[in-house]
Amino acid sequence: MYLRVLEHAATRGQQTISSDALAEDGGTTSAQVRKDLSLFGSFGKRGRGYAVAELVSRLREILGLSREWKVYIVGVGKIGAALVSYRGFSERGFHVLGIYDSNPAIVGRVIDGLAVRSMGQLAHDAARERPEIAVITVPSEYAQSVADRVVAAGIDAILNFAPVPLHVPPRVTVKSVNMALELEGLAYALVHRDAAGALP
Amino acid sequence: MYLRVLEHAATRGQQTISSDALAEDGGTTSAQVRKDLSLFGSFGKRGRGYAVAELVSRLREILGLSREWKVYIVGVGKIGAALVSYRGFSERGFHVLGIYDSNPAIVGRVIDGLAVRSMGQLAHDAARERPEIAVITVPSEYAQSVADRVVAAGIDAILNFAPVPLHVPPRVTVKSVNMALELEGLAYALVHRDAAGALP
DNA sequence: GGATACTTGTGAAATTCTTCACAAGCAATG
DNA sequence: CATTGCTTGTGAAGAATTTCACAAGTATCC
């Protein structure tokens, strides 16, 4: 998130930025900013703040964004298809090079220049292309079994859009995006907004 | 998340569930489950566990899911369009009744039975239809100004898909879904998986 | 009906995260 | 070159969250 704020500051031609300004734009506090950054090193100058360009490249390095990542998208429903051409991925060096679906009516269809491959090919393709990340956008009921296949294919990172927790071996990292859950959080906030001590 | 696990258990015909089983399926610990639920009351029976059906309805009530919520989607790009017909929303009582875009080439197009309305209509429509929630799926650079318009239209809850923090008055609740950020978290995990003390 | 096996709810302890607050460094100013 | 105004980095304090651990309640079995 800091990286995003910093990049925005850079496009405005800003040379330096204080922890206070970074906090303001990022929706946190200056102490938090300084503590967070101090985890990785000492990037600022007292009295001046942080050099925007330098901090951007440091953060890119730390986050692992100074290289390309190969991504498979599994599940070509509405969401999956939308993600294939999502700017936000390619902008950050995430390169989608394979998309998969189990539905024969969808296999072969071309989306954004990429032909949908059949699930059966996944293990074989992965052995050759060695993608690091799989995005799972299949219905909840299939999410776990798809995750198992992805893991078996040697992929160690999963971005899960299904609203169920996935069980994977410890070498695999899973991050989940759960839109319905967030909406439910909003419903909760709306119902309890007047009540004292609402859940954060 | 508990609700989802419970509903799954219910479809299997399960009558009761222990905090241990709930934790296992939900990816947490039994103590956490009990503490979480105890915040809202005492729903279990010692020696038995929780009655699945009862806990489901209690959680639905607590989360504010025992009613319908009216939702506007603002920004009909790939993601926005995909969300219009996203099952996960309607299944939970979130009813999309208006979709908006500023692009005249898109306004009027029908998606899933719903005509895209122009941004200019938003305030007027909202005064009549009184939606509770707005989903913002516009490019980052417009997200804040769209949020301002949504807030001005009297909507108090925002689900933000743009990868920037939104600044809103305190009466408004914002939840963000940040797919690119999660992917970056995966990249970080991959880069640091062998290093000791990786970021959680 | 007593023994056994489970399981909750919850204080207390442990851990993690956030905020405070200030010494120390840098830049601008006169 | 001293003075003033900012700003970082970081120990220490404070707050929040998670885990531990166990008394007490429930069901089952013989």
Averaged confidence pLDDT in chain B: 94
Nearest Cα to Cα of residue A119 among A140, A133, A139, A98: A98
Nearest residue to nucleotide D21, by CA–C1' distance, is B31
Q: Decide: B33 and B22 in contact? Cβ < 8 Å.
A: yes
pLDDT band per the 50, 70, 90 thresholds, residue A198: very low
Of A64, A157, A165, the CB nearest to B26: A165
What distance in Å separates residue B46's CA from the closest CA in chain A? 26
Contacts of B195 in chain A (CB under 8 A): none
Nucleotide nearest B48, CA–C1', reads C7
CA distances from A103 to A16, A60, A164, B5 (A): 52, 38, 22, 27
Q: Count of residues for chain B?
A: 200
Q: Which nucleotide is nearest to A47 (CA to C1')?
A: D7
pLDDT in tens, A52-63: 999 999 999 999
pTM of the predicted protein model = 0.93
The three-class DSSP label of residue B154 is coil
- Chain B: closest CA distance from residue A106 (Å): 17
Residue A194, pLDDT score: 62
Tell me the per-residue pLDDT of B112-145, one tens digit each, with 9 for 90 and over. 999 999 999 999 999 999 999 999 999 999 999 9
CA B168 to chain centre: 18
Residue B79 has pLDDT above 70, yes or no: yes
* Whether the Cβ atoms of residue B124 and residue B146 lie closer than 8 Å to each other: no
Distance (Å, whole) CA B87 – CA A181: 13
Any atom of strand C under 7 A from CB of A1? no
Residue in A63, A86, A92 nearest the CB of B78: A86
A19 contact to strand D (CB, 7 A limit): yes
Helix extents (H) in A64-119: 78-84, 87-90
* Chain D positions with any atom < 7 A from a protein CB: 5-11, 17-21, 24-27
pLDDT at B193: 79
* Residues 6 or more apart whose Cβ sits within 8 Å of residue B63: A184, A187, A188, A191, B3
Handedness of CA B122, B127, B130, B132 (dihedral sign): positive
E-state strands within A77-172: 94-101, 110-111, 114-118, 133-136, 157-160
According to the model, what pLDDT value does residue A196 have? 45
A199 has pLDDT over 60: no
Task: Tell how strand B69-74 and strand B133-136 pair up.
Answer: parallel
Q: Looking at the predicted structure, is the pLDDT value of residue A26 above 70?
A: yes
Q: Does A20 touch chain B (CB under 8 A)?
A: no
Q: For residues B131 and B158, give the distance between their C-alpha atoms in angstroms, rounded to a whole number.
A: 11
Rounded to whole angstroms, how far apart are CA atoms B38 and A168? 29
pLDDT in the model for residue B28:
96
Q: Give the DSSP letter of residue A166.
A: P
Closest residue in B to A2 (Cα–Cα): B164
**Closest chain B residue by Cα to residue A171:** B193
Radius of gyration of chain A (CA): 20
Q: For residue A89, what pLDDT is reported?
A: 92
In contact, A95 and A71? CB cutoff 8 Å: yes
CB contact under 8 A, A180 and B63: no
B63 interfaces chain A, CB cutoff of 8 Å: yes
Question: pLDDT band at B195, cuts 50/70/90?
Answer: low
In this prediction, residue B194 carries a pLDDT of 62
Give residue A195's pLDDT: 56
| Average pLDDT over every residue of A80-99 | 94
Region B69-81: mean pLDDT is 97
Mean pLDDT over A142-151 rounds to 98
Statement: residue B55 has pLDDT above 70: yes
What's the pLDDT band for A193 if we cut at 50, 70, 90? confident
Per residue in B153-185, is it b (16+ CB within 10 Å) or e — as a string?
Answer: bebbbbbbbbbbbbebeeebbbbbbbbbbbbbb
Report percent pLDDT > 90 for chain B.
94
Q: How does pLDDT run across A158-172, given as a tens digit for each residue?
A: 999 999 999 999 999
